[in-house]
Chains A and B, each alone.
Chain A
Amino acid sequence: MSDADQLADARAEEHNNRFATMLAADDRIEPRDWMPDAYRATLIRQIAQHAHSEIIGMQPEANWITRAPSLQRKAILMAKVQDEAGHGLYLYGAAETLGVDRAQLLDLLHTRKQKYSSIFNYPTTSWADVGAIGWLVDGAAITNQVPLCRCSYGPYARAMVRICKEESFHQRQGFDLLLTLSRGTPAQHEMAQEAVNRWWWPSLMMFGPPDNESPNSAQSMAWGIKRFSNDELRQKFIDMTVPQAKVLGLDLPDPELELDPHTGHYRFGPIDWDEFARVVKGGGPCNEQRIAHRVAAHEDGAWVRAAAIAYAAKQQTDGGDERATDAGATTGEAVA
């Protein structure tokens, strides 16, 4: 072994040790720290998939903006859909700190090489679905995401703190919407019940396959990316949600749902994992529509990006960017 090789080996070992020490101390890993290639790749895949889910998730809800039953409900829904775009941006920003470009990630989404949460491949067929998504889908997302606020990778954890704060508005507006329908006319109550019937099982699938069929979980736990197992999080969500359904006066579509007095947890019926696999692989009701819409939005927006870049270039050649000068003055004040 040459001196150079030995030196490289010693350096790699030092890097590995420092990384392991930081994880053991529950310190956060930051963008310019050395990290194992597999850790970086796992984070890029997970954060990108998360970002894609946020922006694809805008579609099923935006479907109802023009048909919201009141101006207030419409304003609330627009604020929520705008939040989802914001969440996507925070997350693409976090992914970019790992050395990928947002444009690259969008390409991977558009060419189906990266996935988004399967839940968004189901259609929103009634106004009550907006409520069911807020209460159940966002509720499940929050259960998944709160532990990610302590994820070992700093930028991802910080983005999640921001997102979790905003998600609690999402869940409450969904609950409020369903409660109003549930206590409304019999037809409105029925509409709410029907939406919950359709969204309950897909929401439980959002936590991913059972622990014994989730091969990557152990490594993610060891890296401090994941803090609780899929099954633990699913159980937590069910335990929180069942009492809320009672308040709503709505039934959850599972005859086996029952509190186990010994464990304090709710027992629940079998989840249809074949359906989950089918939807993940592209066989859900809306997979084609979601991607086609996303690609069209991206292509239709190309002229806006081109115009913004051309305008910025023209401002520079026309004798300076006035706004940049202003910003410089502000910075100067801070330094002084």
Chain B
Amino acid sequence: MSDAGLPRDTGLTLWEVFIRGRRGLSHVHAGSLHAADAEMALRNARDVYTRRSEGVSIWVVRSRDICASSPDEKDAFFAPAADKVYRHPTFYDLPEEVRQM
């Protein structure tokens, strides 16, 4: 949730929290919190983000350790995907006889 990389002047580190809602699903970003170490971050994440059984597994990662693409170069960065319509199945017209593929 937080903007990785901004300087923080508190003694506690900022962590990002990812939660697996139930078995079979990926971990999804839930939010952030402050903690002194990984164990405290996990306990705080449990208290802050899973008070109603929202998760079966939690990951925490220091916000400063996340590398993110920059929104300023968004267009250029994702451009390679924009002109490759043939990557989608809808690009291909099938003869009518083929009902399903």
Q: Report which A residues bind B (CB closer than 8 A).
A: 30-34, 79, 82-83, 86, 89-90, 93-94, 96-99, 101-104, 155, 158-159, 162, 166, 305-306, 308-309, 311-312, 315, 321, 323-324, 327, 330-331, 334
Contacts and interface: CB of A to CB of B under 8 A. Distances in A.
B2 A311 contact: no
Contacts of A103: 9-10
A interface, over-half SS: helix
A189 B85 CA distance: 68
B36 interface: yes
Contacts of A98: 3
13 contacts: A89-B33, A93-B31, A96-B3, A96-B32, A97-B3, A99-B3, A102-B10, A103-B10, A308-B12, A321-B38, A323-B39, A323-B42, A331-B59
A321 B13 CA distance: 15
A101 B8 contact: yes
Residue picked from B37, B47, B61, most chain A C-beta under 10 Å? B37
A159 B59 CA distance: 19
Interface of B: 1-3, 6, 8-12, 14, 27, 31-40, 42, 47-48, 51-52, 57, 59-61, 68, 70-72
Contacts of A324: 37-38
Contact of B59 (A158, A162, A315, A327): A327
Nearest to B26: A334
A93 B32 contact: yes
Given A82-B47, A158-B1, 13 more contacts: A32-B3, A34-B71, A34-B72, A86-B47, A96-B14, A97-B2, A159-B1, A308-B12, A309-B36, A321-B38, A324-B37, A330-B57, A334-B59
A268 to B, nearest CB: 36
A221 B5 CA distance: 31
Nearest to A95: B2
Contacts of B14: 96
B39 to A, nearest CB: 4
B9 A311 contact: no
Nearest to B16: A93
A311 B36 contact: yes
A93 B60 CA distance: 15
Q: Which 7 residue pairs across A and B have the least CB separation, nearest first?
A: A312-B37, A308-B36, A312-B36, A31-B3, A323-B39, A324-B38, A103-B10
B85 to A, nearest CB: 22
A2 B99 CA distance: 64
A312 B39 CA distance: 9
B33 A93 contact: yes
Contacts of B42: 323, 327
